[in-house]
Amino acid sequence: MTHQGTLGVAVIGTGRMGADHVRRINEVISGARVAAVVDVDAERAKAVAQGVDGCTAHTDPAAALASDDVDAVLIASPGPAHEATLLAAFAHDLPVLCEKPLTPDAASALRVLEAEQRLGRRRVQVGFMRRYDAEYLRLKALLDSRELGRPLMLHNRHRNASSPPWFTSAMLINDSVVHEMDVTRWLLGQEITAVTVLRPVPSGNAPEGLEDPQLVLFETDGGVIVDTEINVNCGFGYQVQAEVVCERGTARIGDGHTMVTNAAGRWGGTIAQDFVERFADAYDREVQAWVDATRRGEVTGPSVWDGYAAAAVCEAGVRAQREGTRITVDLIARPALYH
C-alpha cells in the first residue's frame, strides 16, 4: 500500500463511469488515490490523469497492473473487456471493483467464477450499486425483518429519459434490467428460475427498430412473481421504483420527492435526469465500502456468483424476448466459496 496506507487504485476505462469514479476517489471518498488510469483512447486517459496528482496514464491494462503503485483495480471499461482485466488482476493478486455486468454472458462469467475459485478466496466486488442506495437498503431491512410477512410480488419500474444511439432491444434486458435481476435476488434472497418478456407497441419516442418499452417477468425459487417495466425513452427523466407486496402490507421506494412544491396551479417535485444523479450517493457508498474492505484485507458486497447469476438470467431474458416464450434459467450449483 502506497502513501501512508492509502490504497493505490488503477481505474480501467475512463469514459462516463470511469471518469466519475476517478473524481469520486480523488474528491469524495477517503483511503484511496488514483495511481493509474487506462483507456484504449490514449488522449482520454491522459486528460483524466492530468487532473490527478501522481497518476500515470496507460493504454494497456497490463502496464498499470504491474506498477508497484497499484494495490487494487476498478474496472469501468465496456462489459466485453471485463474478463481479460479480471483474469489479469487475479494473476497479480489484486482486489477488484468491477462495474456491472461482470461479463456479458454466462460462459465468460463462469470462467471468472472458476478462476476466482482457483485462487481460493474472493477478490471481486461487482458494481451493482443499488445495494448501496439508502432506499433499497431500507426496503431490504424491512423485508429481512419479516414485519410485513413473506414477500409475494415485486413490481419494478426502470425508466431512462432516453437511450444512447447504440442501444439495442437486447440491451434493455442485459444492460438495464440486469439491475432488477440483482436487486430481486438480493432483496428476496432467492434465485430467479424463469423469465418471460412481453412487448407492447413500441413508443414513438424510441428510435426506429428499438422495442421499447418491455415488461419483463421473473419467477423465483421462493414462488415470488416479479415484474419490471423497462422503458428507456420515457422522455421525462430517470426513474427507478420498486414496490414489494407482502402478506401483511406493501412497501414502495423510488418516489424520491424530497421536496414538494405548490405553484402555478400544479404541485410536485423534480425527477433526476440520469443514473449519475439518482444514484450519486449509492456510487459513493459502493466505492467507499470497497476501499474500506480492501484496506481491511476483506472482500464484501455483490460477488462473482451474483455476477454469474445475473448473466445467466440475462441470457434467458434475451432468449425469452427473441423467442416470445417463457425461458427457464440454468444455474450451476453454488460453489462453497459463495455460501
Is 39 a binding residue for ligand NAD by CB under 6 A? The answer is yes
Select the binding partner of residue 160 from ligand NAD, ligand INS, none (C-beta < 5 to 8 A, by kind).
ligand INS
Give the nearest distance from C-beta 295 to ligand INS in angstroms.
Answer: 27
The residues in 99-118 that bind ligand INS, with binding defined as CB under 6 A, are none
- Which three cell numbers mark 271? 425527477
Nearer to ligand NAD, 98 or 197 (CB): 98
Which part of the chain contacts ligand INS (CB under 6 A), choosing from 22-30, 133-141, 172-180, 192-200?
Answer: 172-180
The residues in 224-283 that bind ligand INS, with binding defined as CB under 6 A, are 232, 275
User: How far is it, in rounded angstroms, from Cα 15 to Cα 10?
Assistant: 14
Please list, residue by residue across 224-256, b when 16 or more beta carbons sit within 10 angstroms of its beta carbon and e when fewer do: bebbbbbbbbbeebbbbbbebbbeeeebebbeb
Which member of 7, 9, 11, 17 binds ligand NAD (CB under 6 A)?
Answer: 17
Distances (CA, A) of 216 to 158, 230, 246, 258: 11, 8, 20, 29
Is 18 a binding residue for ligand NAD by CB under 6 A? The answer is yes
The answer to whether residues 224 and 154 touch, using CB atoms and an 8 Å cutoff, is yes
User: How far is it, in rounded angstroms, from Cα 81 to Cα 38?
Assistant: 12
Is 176 a binding residue for ligand INS by CB under 6 A? The answer is yes
Is 172 a binding residue for ligand NAD by CB under 6 A? The answer is no
Give the nearest distance from C-beta 15 to ligand INS in angstroms.
Answer: 11
Is 156 a binding residue for ligand INS by CB under 6 A? The answer is no
User: How far is it, in rounded angstroms, from Cα 57 to Cα 160?
Assistant: 33
The residues in 268-307 that bind ligand NAD, with binding defined as CB under 6 A, are 275
- Which three cell numbers mark 183? 436487486
- Which three cell numbers mark 263? 405553484
Is 79 a binding residue for ligand NAD by CB under 6 A? The answer is yes
Which part of the chain contacts ligand INS (CB under 6 A), choosing from 8-16, 171-179, 191-199, 329-337?
Answer: 171-179
Helix ranges (DSSP H) in the chain: 16-23, 42-50, 61-65, 82-91, 106-119, 134-145, 169-171, 178-188, 275-278, 280-295, 304-323
- Amino acid symbol at 129: M
Which member of 8, 9, 10, 14 binds ligand NAD (CB under 6 A)?
Answer: 14
Positions touching ligand INS (CB under 6 A) are 160, 175-176, 179, 232, 275
Positions touching ligand NAD (CB under 6 A) are 12-18, 38-41, 44, 61, 76-79, 81, 99-100, 127, 129, 275
